[in-house]
Chains A and B, each alone.
Chain A
Amino acid sequence: MTDQALPPIKTVDHKEDLYTAKPWQLIWRRFSQHTLALVSLWFLILLALCAIFAEQVAPYDPFKVSRLRTLAPPTAIHFFHEGQFVGPFVYGLSRERDADTARVLYEVDTETVLPIQFFYSGDKYSFFGLFSADIHLFGVDDRREQINLLGTDDLGRDVFSRLTHGARVTLSAGLIGVIFAFVLGLTLGSISGYFGGWIDSSIQRLMEFIRSIPTIPLWMGLAAALPIAWDPLFVYVLITLILALIGWTHLARVVRGQFFAIRNEDYVLAARLAGASEYRIITKHMLPSMTSYIIAALTLAVPEMILGETALSFLGLGLRPPIVSWGVLLQDAQNLRSISMAPWLLSPGVAVVMTVLAFNFLGDGLRDAADPYGQ
Chain B
Amino acid sequence: MVAFILRRALLAIPTLIFISFISFVIIQLPPGDYVSAYAAELRRMGDYISPLQEAAMREQLGLNDPMLVQYWRWISAIVLRGDFGYSLDWNAPVSNLIWDRLGLTLMISSASLVITWLIAIPVGVYSATRQYSFLDYLFTVFGFLGKGVPDFLLALVLMWLSFSYLNLNVGGLFSPEFQNAPWTLAKVWDLATHLWIPLVVLATGGAAGLIRVMRANMLDELGKPYVETAYAQGLSEGKVVWGYPVRVALNPFISTVGWALPALFSGDIIVAVVLNLPTTGPLLLQALKMQDMYLAGSFILILSVFTVIGTLISDILLAWFDPRIRYA
Interface residues of A, Cβ cutoff 8 Å to B: 208-209, 212-214, 216-218, 220-222, 224-227, 303, 307, 310-311, 314-317, 330, 333-334, 336, 339-340, 343, 346, 349, 352-354, 356-357, 360-361
Contact B300 A218 (CB under 8 A): yes
Binds A, one of B73-81, B116-124, B235-243, B262-270: B262-270
> Which residues in B have their C-beta under 8 angstroms from that of A334?
156, 274
In the complex, per-residue mask of B158-182: 1 if CB is within 8 Å of any chain A CB, else 0 = 0110011000001100000000000
Binds A, one of B95-103, B129-137, B146-154, B320-328: B146-154
Given contacts A213-B304, A311-B270, A336-B170, contact A225 B156 (CB under 8 A): no
Binds A, one of B1-9, B27-35, B48-56, B184-192: B27-35
Q: Which of B22, B31, B153, B163 counts the most chain A CB atoms within 10 A?
A: B153
A-B contact pairs, 29 of them (CB 8 A): A209-B19, A212-B15, A212-B304, A213-B19, A214-B300, A218-B300, A220-B288, A221-B27, A221-B29, A221-B296, A222-B26, A224-B291, A225-B29, A227-B30, A227-B32, A303-B148, A314-B270, A317-B288, A317-B289, A336-B160, A339-B156, A340-B164, A346-B160, A352-B150, A352-B153, A357-B144, A357-B148, A360-B147, A361-B144
In the complex, per-residue mask of B255-273: 1 if CB is within 8 Å of any chain A CB, else 0 = 0000000100010011001
CB distance from B67 to the nearest CB of A (A): 14
Contact A221 B26 (CB under 8 A): yes
Given contacts A214-B266, A220-B288, A224-B30, contact A314 B311 (CB under 8 A): no
Please, which residue of chain A has its CB at the minimum distance from the CB of B147? A360
Please, which residue of chain B has its CB at the minimum distance from the CB of A354? B148
CB distance from B304 to the nearest CB of A (A): 5
Cα distance, A49 to B140, chains bound together (Å) = 30
Contact B29 A222 (CB under 8 A): yes
From B26, B144, B160, B289, A343 is in contact (CB under 8 Å) with B160
Contact B15 A225 (CB under 8 A): no
Contact B304 A336 (CB under 8 A): no
Interface on chain B toward A: helix, strand, loop, or mixed SS?
helix
Contact A212 B22 (CB under 8 A): no
Is B145 part of the binding interface, using a Cβ–Cβ cutoff of 8 Å? yes
Is B303 part of the binding interface, using a Cβ–Cβ cutoff of 8 Å? yes
The count of A-to-B residue pairs whose CB atoms sit within 8 angstroms is 115
Q: A220-B288, A225-B29 are in contact. List 4 more A-B contacts (CB 8 A).
A: A213-B307, A217-B266, A334-B274, A354-B148
Please, which residue of chain B has its CB at the minimum distance from the CB of A312? B270
Contact A217 B163 (CB under 8 A): no
Contact B273 A336 (CB under 8 A): no
Contact A216 B270 (CB under 8 A): yes
> Which residues in A have their C-beta under 8 angstroms from that of B30?
224-227
Cα distance, A227 to B26, chains bound together (Å) = 13
CB distance from A185 to the nearest CB of B (A): 21
From A212, A214, A224, A346, B156 is in contact (CB under 8 Å) with A346
Cα distance, A216 to B274, chains bound together (Å) = 15
Given contacts A221-B288, A222-B26, A336-B163, contact A216 B156 (CB under 8 A): no
Cα distance, A339 to B240, chains bound together (Å) = 50
Is B249 part of the binding interface, using a Cβ–Cβ cutoff of 8 Å? no
In the complex, per-residue mask of B267-307: 1 if CB is within 8 Å of any chain A CB, else 0 = 00110011000000000110011010000100110011001
> Which residues in B have their C-beta under 8 angstroms from that of A333?
156
> Which residues in A have their C-beta under 8 angstroms from that of B266?
214, 216-217
Is B308 part of the binding interface, using a Cβ–Cβ cutoff of 8 Å? yes
> Which residues in B have their C-beta under 8 angstroms from that of A346?
153, 156-157, 160
Cα distance, A266 to B147, chains bound together (Å) = 39
Given contacts A220-B269, A340-B160, A353-B149, contact A212 B299 (CB under 8 A): no
Contact B269 A310 (CB under 8 A): no
Contact A214 B303 (CB under 8 A): yes
Cα distance, A221 to B26, chains bound together (Å) = 6
> Which residues in A have their C-beta under 8 angstroms from that of B262?
214
Contact A227 B31 (CB under 8 A): yes
Is B18 part of the binding interface, using a Cβ–Cβ cutoff of 8 Å? yes
CB distance from A11 to the nearest CB of B (A): 27
Please, which residue of chain B has its CB at the minimum distance from the CB of A230? B31
Please, which residue of chain B has its CB at the minimum distance from the CB of A213? B304
CB distance from B164 to the nearest CB of A (A): 5
CB distance from A50 to the nearest CB of B (A): 19
Please, which residue of chain A has its CB at the minimum distance from the CB of B164? A340
Contact A212 B273 (CB under 8 A): no
> Which residues in A have their C-beta under 8 angstroms from that of B147?
356-357, 360
> Which residues in A have their C-beta under 8 angstroms from that of B149?
353
> Which residues in A have their C-beta under 8 angstroms from that of B291?
224
> Which residues in A have their C-beta under 8 angstroms from that of B27?
221, 225
Contact A209 B307 (CB under 8 A): no
Give 9 nearest A-B pairs by CB, closest first.
A225-B29, A224-B288, A357-B148, A221-B26, A356-B148, A349-B153, A225-B30, A339-B160, A214-B303
Cα distance, A218 to B301, chains bound together (Å) = 10
Cα distance, A357 to B159, chains bound together (Å) = 23
From A209, A226, A307, A310, B15 is in contact (CB under 8 Å) with A209
Contact A212 B311 (CB under 8 A): yes
> Which residues in A have their C-beta under 8 angstroms from that of B311?
212
Q: Which of B30, B145, B148, B296 counts the most chain A CB atoms within 10 A?
A: B148
Cα distance, A199 to B68, chains bound together (Å) = 30
Contact A315 B15 (CB under 8 A): no
> Which residues in B have their C-beta under 8 angstroms from that of A214?
262, 266, 300, 303-304, 307
Cα distance, A356 to B15, chains bound together (Å) = 34
> Which residues in B have their C-beta under 8 angstroms from that of A356?
147-148
Given contacts A212-B19, A212-B304, A221-B288, contact A307 B150 (CB under 8 A): yes
